[in-house]
């Protein structure tokens, strides 16, 4: 029987959508954004992970379930705000769930994959990737979703503005400024602690943050009345089509440094030194305290150091540290400002940390390696984006990874306990502990990097057991996670259950009011619209 359309059927249809309705939806979408901007996930084609820079768009590059569980039915790439609005209208008409993303490099948290299999991905970054404004006087930029740290940085360099304005960047430069901000990601300059300031330009059909009459809306983003920006972060209430981001004026001087600490159990003492210095802003930026294996993994795969498949022992790690001339913990920071200010800060920093026996202080030029972690951090901490950190994902063959990111207060006792709990579980699951503490103004994001063989179903099973167990362990200790992978969203949301789940009730009430058909990223961070039977969907 001849079909009126050549649209293939996807691997997975959106829930409760018939093949015919799907095909009509796709042809309507094609007429909105152009045929070349609609890709149906054809079951004939294998689900190829691609690479970080050439990333897959319809599934999780580092799948922890089967690759075709969190998979889109199609990906649509609008060319401007009216097309975004038209696609959202169409999705409402057909009750097709959509999953917006910007650059789609949310690696370790699900990449571009949707929470609900068969959702239609909305790829904002492909065609909407303009830097709309760089304002030197006000030190801000206005960007579209496709603008990455790399592209904004390159623009500043090319236009000669980088001399005046620095960007706050996360570890990898390929992410989008909007994607990272709406997820409340972390950067490492003095502007990292403040977080990016998300400015949902105009979530279609829902809101408008751009402010008339306030033409200074990128300088004073609160406006008047309820301040709504926050509800468009880590949420499923709208699509961010542009965003203002504060840039950091060139501080007039910069110097990165590293302090190494020889013993695994120095952790507690180090963190108790960090707290007062960070509170006083003697530590001006978001410094990191990295476990030896994170640095080791950036340098080489595990096979370079050992033949073992089992978790490394304390002795192994001491050996690696000695070989790399690093500590068991390594602290990376920077000082910003003119020379006298840097000198005063350095004095206080050294006075505090170097009392820890065996600690050593390094500037980049003190290190002999060609490009060691300190050299990389020296770039990152001044807002120069890179891909260096990607290397630790290759710690084991077919390296995939999953982030476990609990929050702790800046306290030696808390850090030591959180390290002990997570390290023990990693070993139990047969994995090496690899991790780092990112120090915010008053908290630490403890980022545990779970590296697993993504071609090995048994390892995927183990890594899932591991993260689910750690979520429970940490909740029992009073620690919650700040962000997570698709697979963990329900479990983690459920730990934020104060006052009979009042927070989730609030989130659901707002969700149902703003998105009555429940089409916008259903299930994101555990928030399910009333149109879904939550019990059935929870993983």
Ligand X SMILES: Cc1cc2nc3c(=O)[nH]c(=O)nc-3n(C[C@H](O)[C@H](O)[C@H](O)COP(=O)(O)OP(=O)(O)OC[C@H]3O[C@@H](n4cnc5c(N)ncnc54)[C@H](O)[C@@H]3O)c2cc1C
Active site residues: 109, 482-483
With binding defined as CB under 8 A, does residue 137 bind a copy of itself?
yes
Question: Please, what is the minimum distance in Å from the beta carbon of residue 120 to a copy of itself?
Answer: 22
Question: Please, what is the minimum distance in Å from the beta carbon of residue 311 to ligand X?
Answer: 21
With binding defined as CB under 6 A, does residue 406 bind ligand X?
no
Question: Please, what is the minimum distance in Å from the beta carbon of residue 207 to a copy of itself?
Answer: 4
With binding defined as CB under 6 A, does residue 244 bind ligand X?
no
With binding defined as CB under 8 A, does residue 495 bind a copy of itself?
yes
Question: Please, what is the minimum distance in Å from the beta carbon of residue 71 to ligand X?
Answer: 14
Q: Which is nearer to ligand X, 103 or 256 (CB)?
A: 103
Kindly report whether the peptide bond that precedes residue 213 is cis, defined as omega within 30 degrees of 0.
Answer: yes
Residue 417 and residue 410: Cα distance in Å, rounded? 12
| Stretch near a copy of itself under the rule CB under 8 A, chosen from 143-151, 213-221, 427-435, 531-539 | 213-221
Report what 102 binds from ligand X, a copy of itself, none; CB cut-off 5-8 Å by kind. ligand X
Question: Please, what is the minimum distance in Å from the beta carbon of residue 23 to ligand X?
Answer: 26
Q: Which is nearer to ligand X, 131 or 345 (CB)?
A: 131
Judged by CB under 8 A, the residue of 474, 486, 487, 519 near a copy of itself is 474
Mapping DSSP to helix (H, G, I), strand (E, B) and coil, where does residue 520 land?
strand
Residue 520 and residue 276: Cα distance in Å, rounded? 43
Q: Which of residues 152-171 bind ligand X (CB under 6 A)?
A: 170-171
Q: What is the CA radius of gyration of the chain?
A: 23
Phi–psi pair at 464, nearest 5 degrees: -70, -45
With binding defined as CB under 6 A, does residue 332 bind ligand X?
no
With binding defined as CB under 6 A, does residue 100 bind ligand X?
yes
CB 264 within 8 A of CB 404: no
Count of CB atoms within 10 A of residue 367's CB? Answer: 17
With binding defined as CB under 6 A, does residue 402 bind ligand X?
no
Tell me the pairing of strands 38-40 and 74-76. antiparallel
- The two structure tokens encoding residue 22: 């799907």
Residue 78 and residue 539: Cα distance in Å, rounded? 31
Report what 384 binds from ligand X, a copy of itself, none; CB cut-off 5-8 Å by kind. none
All residues at 6 or more sequence positions from 322 whose CB lies less than 8 Å from its CB, including other chains:
none
Count of CB atoms within 10 A of residue 266's CB? Answer: 22
With binding defined as CB under 6 A, does residue 104 bind ligand X?
yes
Residue 311 and residue 433: Cα distance in Å, rounded? 8
Q: Which residue matches tokens 């004026």?
A: 249
How many chain residues touch a copy of itself (CB under 8 A)? 89
Count of CB atoms within 10 A of residue 249's CB? Answer: 11
- Sign of the torsion angle spanned by Cα atoms 126, 519, 6, 67: positive
Judged by CB under 8 A, the residue of 346, 361, 496, 532 near a copy of itself is 496
With binding defined as CB under 8 A, does residue 110 bind a copy of itself?
no
Q: Which is nearer to ligand X, 101 or 342 (CB)?
A: 101
Q: How far separated are the first and last CA of the chain, in Å rounded?
A: 40
110: alpha, beta or left? (left if phi > 0; alpha if psi -120 to 50): left
User: How far, rounded to the nearest angstrom, does the alpha carbon of residue 225 sit from its chain's CA centroid?
Assistant: 30
Report what 212 binds from ligand X, a copy of itself, none; CB cut-off 5-8 Å by kind. a copy of itself
Exposure string over 369-396, b if 16+ CB within 10 A, otherwise e: eeebbbbbbbbbbbbbbbebbbebbbbb
Q: Which of residues 251-280 bind a copy of itself (CB under 8 A)?
A: 251-252, 275-276, 279-280
| Stretch near a copy of itself under the rule CB under 8 A, chosen from 59-67, 200-208, 372-380, 529-537 | 200-208
CB 57 within 8 A of CB 75: yes
With binding defined as CB under 8 A, does residue 60 bind a copy of itself?
no
With binding defined as CB under 6 A, does residue 240 bind ligand X?
yes
With binding defined as CB under 8 A, does residue 82 bind a copy of itself?
no
With binding defined as CB under 6 A, does residue 390 bind ligand X?
yes
Judged by CB under 8 A, the residue of 170, 526, 528, 529 near a copy of itself is 526
Judged by CB under 8 A, the residue of 20, 48, 227, 325 near a copy of itself is 227
CB 282 within 8 A of CB 348: yes
Question: Please, what is the minimum distance in Å from the beta carbon of residue 24 to ligand X?
Answer: 26
Residue 257 and residue 38: Cα distance in Å, rounded? 47
How many chain residues touch ligand X (CB under 6 A)? 30
With binding defined as CB under 6 A, does residue 466 bind ligand X?
no
- The two structure tokens encoding residue 118: 């068969």
Count of CB atoms within 10 A of residue 135's CB? Answer: 14
Residue 391 and residue 295: Cα distance in Å, rounded? 10
| Stretch near ligand X under the rule CB under 6 A, chosen from 3-11, 107-115, 249-257, 312-320 | 107-115
Q: Which of residues 112-151 bind ligand X (CB under 6 A)?
A: 112, 124, 145
With binding defined as CB under 6 A, does residue 237 bind ligand X?
no
| Stretch near a copy of itself under the rule CB under 8 A, chosen from 1-9, 201-209, 262-270, 286-294 | 201-209
With binding defined as CB under 6 A, does residue 101 bind ligand X?
yes
Kindly report whether the peptide bond that precedes residue 371 is cis, defined as omega within 30 degrees of 0.
Answer: no
Return residues touching ligand X (CB under 6 A): 100-108, 112, 124, 145, 170-172, 175-176, 178-180, 182-183, 185-186, 239-240, 389-390, 393, 524
């Amino acid at each position: 029987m001849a079909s009126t359309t050549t649209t293939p059927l996807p691997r997975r249809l959106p829930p409760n959508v018939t093949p015919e309705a799907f095909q009509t939806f796709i042809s309507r979408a094609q007429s909105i954004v152009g045929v070349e901007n609609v890709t149906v996930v054809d079951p004939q084609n294998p689900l190829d992970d691609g690479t970080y820079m050439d990333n897959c768009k319809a599934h999780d590059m580092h799948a922890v379930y089967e690759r075709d569980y969190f998979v889109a039915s199609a990906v649509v790439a609008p060319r401007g705000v009216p097309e975004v609005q038209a696609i959202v209208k169409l999705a409402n008409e057909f009750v097709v769930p959509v999953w917006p993303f910007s650059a789609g490099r949310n690696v370790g948290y699900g990449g571009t994959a949707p929470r609900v299999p068969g959702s239609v991905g909305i790829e904002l970054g492909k065609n909407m990737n303009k830097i709309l404004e760089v304002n030197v006087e006000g030190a801000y930029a206005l960007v579209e979703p496709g603008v990455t740290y790399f592209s904004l940085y390159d623009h500043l360099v090319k236009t000669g503005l980088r001399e005046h304005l620095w960007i706050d960047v996360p570890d990898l430069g390929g992410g989008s400024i909007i994607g990272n901000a709406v997820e409340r990601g972390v950067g490492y300059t003095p502007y990292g602690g403040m977080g990016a300031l998300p400015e949902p330009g105009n979530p279609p059909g829902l809101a408008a943050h751009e402010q008339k009459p306030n033409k200074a809306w990128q300088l004073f983003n609160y406006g008047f009345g309820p301040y709504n920006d926050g509800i468009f972060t880590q949420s499923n209430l709208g699509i961010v089509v542009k965003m203002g981001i504060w840039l950091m004026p060139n501080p007039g001087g910069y110097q990165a440094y590293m302090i190494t600490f020889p013993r695994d159990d120095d952790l507690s003492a180090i963190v108790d030194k960090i707290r007062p210095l960070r509170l006083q802003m003697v530590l001006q930026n978001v410094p990191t305290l990295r476990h030896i294996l994170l640095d080791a993994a950036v340098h080489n795969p595990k096979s370079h150091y050992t033949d073992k498949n089992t978790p490394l022992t304390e002795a192994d790690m001491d050996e690696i540290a000695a070989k790399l001339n690093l500590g068991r913990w390594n602290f990376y920071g920077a000082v910003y400002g003119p020379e006298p200010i840097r000198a005063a800060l350095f004095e206080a920093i050294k006075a505090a940390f170097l009392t820890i026996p065996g600690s050593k202080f390094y500037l980049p030029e003190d290190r002999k390696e060609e490009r060691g972690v300190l050299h990389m951090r020296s770039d990152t901490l001044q807002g120069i984006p890179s891909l260096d950190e990607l290397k630790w994902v290759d710690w084991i063959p077919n390296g995939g990874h999953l982030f476990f990111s609990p929050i702790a207060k800046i306290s030696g006792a808390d850090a030591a306990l959180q390290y002990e709990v997570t390290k023990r579980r990693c070993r139990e699951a047969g994995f090496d502990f690899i991790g780092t503490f990112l120090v915010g103004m008053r908290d630490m994001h403890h980022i545990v990097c779970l590296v697993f063989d993504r071609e090995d179903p048994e390892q995927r099973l183990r890594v899932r057991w591991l993260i689910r167990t750690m979520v429970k362990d940490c909740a029992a200790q009073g620690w919650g996670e700040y962000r997570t992978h698709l697979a963990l969203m329900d479990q983690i949301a459920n730990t934020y259950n104060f006052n009979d789940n009042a927070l989730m009730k609030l989130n659901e009430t707002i969700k149902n009011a703003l998105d009555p058909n429940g089409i916008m990223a259903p299930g994101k961070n555990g928030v399910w619209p009333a149109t879904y039977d939550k019990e059935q969907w929870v993983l």
